[in-house]
Amino acid sequence: MSRERLLLAFCAVAVAFAAVDTYVVVLALPDMMGGVGLGGDQLQRAAPIVSGFLLGYVAMLPLMGRIADLRGQVPVLAMSLVLFSIGSLVTAVSYDLPSMVTGRFLQGVGGGGLVPATMSLVAALYPIERRGLPLGIVSAVQEFGSVLGPLFGALVLSFTSWRGIFAINLAGGVLLVVIVGALARGRLDTSSPGGSDYSTNLALGSSSAGREERATGVSRRPQLPARLVTLALLATTLAAGLITFLEPASIQRDLTWGQVFIPYVDGGSRWITPIGLVTVGAFVAFLLCCWFLPRPLVDLRGWFDHLLAADLLGAGLLAAALGGIVLAFATADPEVAVFSPQGPWFLTGSALAVVLLLVHLRRADDPIVPRGALRAMPAWGALVVSFLVGWALIAALVDIPLFARTTTHPNSQLGAALVLLRFLAALPVGAVVGGWLLRRLNAGVLTAVGMATAGAAFLAMAQWDRTSLDGFASNVPLVLGGFGFGLALAPVNAAILANTDDDAHGLASALVVVARMVGMLVGISALTTIGLRRLYAAQAEDPTLDPRDLGILQEQAVFMGAAVAAFAAAALALVLFARAETRDVDTAEVLRSAG
């Protein structure tokens, strides 16, 4: 295996690792609430623990994707892993809600940055007609990782506390940073598409001499004094920061050292104590060194230049628009409304940000979404189809185990998760098959077949009753549904990559993921509300129905709504992807670095 392919393999592992973290708090949330002083009756206050991650993941995806186009995939991958690791560390040692939400937000930013960079890496390494299989594999591990999050959380919680989940994330993130950095250093295999220059640009993200020394945001030959100073400041920041966060009892009880935890102001926070100020001072000094010293440990000035080149104002407006949608739906209580009580204000803010963004895109010299980047029908159509795929997919991920808990596994979360695994086992198989078939079938036909199969599976699930999961026949819609969703993942990604310029692949990949995540957020709120209204209507018609029967009616309504979304995605894919040339394209046209 060439070094590029090995790098791509570890990038896929990183995507799966970050995707697991999306829903890892499902089971750990009650314990995490207790860890930051929230009671079990304060669930609404804990919503930012979940929405903070989603906000970082979704709102920052386009910016990270655009930077991947400008600076190169590998630097963004490395920096995303660093941010994910820092977020994991902050979450693991958090002592209050703001610190925990900050950690989760950083995890989301880092995890989200991995997706567009990896998709763009696929586009850089493979010609159009050979992208299907690797895109299918990356899509499969992303979706499979997301739903393995609760299982991973349950496994870790069986032998340690919730903090152990994020300690493992930290260790895994650091290990992946080292591996990706090692694979990016040196000369990549020049037998890959595009030859030697292609490989060098792919690894370094830039052809200029100065940027070639900053392949992953870390200088290759920093001056020794600068290295020693910055490393010392970084070590001081980490050591003092951990003491500030954890406040070890053995140090607090010491008559001498305990004074470092006494605030300079009565009732002040731990950050205005001697040890807190040491942490802040060392961190500020570290940032200043990275900004002003030649060949710094972290190229902050270079990253800032790329933020400006990526259209920071446009990225901020796009993030505000997406953030308002995330907050409106992620903090909702479906029993009350589709979005939260503050939802109208969030959506109003999103609408205002969209208007300002449109004005900005028309006037900016180099906007975050290049003019004409999504002009082709398959390009913007991929976003529409991806939104509907997410809308339908979330019904399977949430409501299949919920139906199992309502019927055959009322007291076993593991049993309910194993029912979902029948669906999940077929999803990566479908993704790989879909990627392989892309070389033979049109993306629209393949997506339509996959989503129509998923829609038919949902129709079958909508007929399930109390004993349906006891029989072997229930495996048919579960397997077909997972296979159908998997079949559609690669064609959607391939359609937008084949119909956008090479220098916009990172952004295009990011927007596809954003569309699917927004579809999932909107879908779970809308479908759950529809299901609850069906439940209330049935209860009003027949007050003698027991809770189990009412729950079955609710889930049946959700499955029916998901079927409608799946069939809509299938029909639109046939029309919107009709001219998506994802096969039989001249290889020479795409043998250029996407970085």
Which of 111-125, 447-461, 512-526 has the lowest average pLDDT? 111-125
pLDDT in tens, 410-422: 877 667 777 887 8
Mean predicted confidence (pLDDT) in 144-150: 67
CA 120 to chain CA centroid, nearest Å: 15
Strand partners, 460: none
DSSP 155-191: HHHTTS-HHHHHHHHHHHHHHHHHHHHHHHSSPPPTT
Which of 272-276, 415-419, 445-449 has the lowest average pLDDT? 415-419
Q: Is 267 helix (H, G, I), strand (E, B) or coil?
A: coil
- Rounded to 10 degrees, the C-alpha dihedral 111/115/117/121 comes to 140
DSSP 25-77: HHHHHHHHHHHTT--TT-GGGGHHHHHHHHHHHHHTHHHHHHHHHHH-HHHHH
Question: What is the overall mean pLDDT for the chain?
Answer: 80
What is the spatial distance between Cα 496 and Cα 491, in angstroms, rounded to a whole number? 9
Mean predicted confidence (pLDDT) in 526-543: 85
Mean predicted confidence (pLDDT) in 180-190: 60
pLDDT in tens, 357-388: 999 988 888 888 888 888 889 889 999 999 99
Q: Are the C-beta atoms of residues 492 and 386 closer than 8 Å to each other?
A: yes
Strand partners, 298: 218
pLDDT, position 589: 29
What is the spatial distance between Cα 55 and Cα 108, in angstroms, rounded to a whole number? 7
Which of 139-143, 343-347, 372-376 has the lowest average pLDDT? 139-143
Half-sphere exposure for 46 (CA within 13 Å, toward CB): 18
Percent of the chain with pLDDT strictly greater than 90: 22
Strand partners, 478: none
pLDDT, position 477: 95
Mean predicted confidence (pLDDT) in 201-220: 41
Torsion angles phi and psi, residue 459, rounded to 5? -60, -40
Q: Over 90: is that where the pLDDT of 435 sits? A: no
Cβ contacts of 535 within 8 Å, gap of 6 or more: 550, 551, 553, 554, 557
Burial (CB < 10 A; 0-12, 13-18, 19+), residue 10, is middle
Identify which has the larger pLDDT, 20 or 291: 291
Q: Over 60: is that where the pLDDT of 1 sits? A: no
Q: How confident is the model at residue 590 (pLDDT cuts 50, 70, 90)?
A: very low
pLDDT, position 556: 92
Q: How confident is the model at residue 194 (pLDDT cuts 50, 70, 90)?
A: very low
Q: Over 60: is that where the pLDDT of 18 sits? A: yes
Half-sphere exposure for 154 (CA within 13 Å, toward CB): 12
pLDDT, position 478: 94
Q: Over 60: is that where the pLDDT of 568 sits? A: yes
Q: How confident is the model at residue 442 (pLDDT cuts 50, 70, 90)?
A: confident
Q: How confident is the model at residue 38 (pLDDT cuts 50, 70, 90)?
A: confident
Q: How confident is the model at residue 535 (pLDDT cuts 50, 70, 90)?
A: confident
Q: Is 542 helix (H, G, I), strand (E, B) or coil?
A: coil
pLDDT, position 382: 92
Q: Are the C-beta atoms of residues 340 and 50 closer than 8 Å to each other?
A: no
Q: Are the C-beta atoms of residues 36 and 102 closer than 8 Å to each other?
A: no
Tokens of 437: 């078939």
Domains along the chain?
1-217 (1.20.1250.20), 224-298 (no CATH), 377-585+591-595 (1.20.1250.20)
Report which DSSP code applies to 127: -
**Closest by Cα among 240, 368, 215, 362 to 299:** 215
Mean predicted confidence (pLDDT) in 206-232: 56
Q: Over 80: is that where the pLDDT of 531 sits? A: yes
Q: Are the C-beta atoms of residues 138 and 77 closer than 8 Å to each other?
A: no
pLDDT, position 193: 39
Strand partners, 218: 298
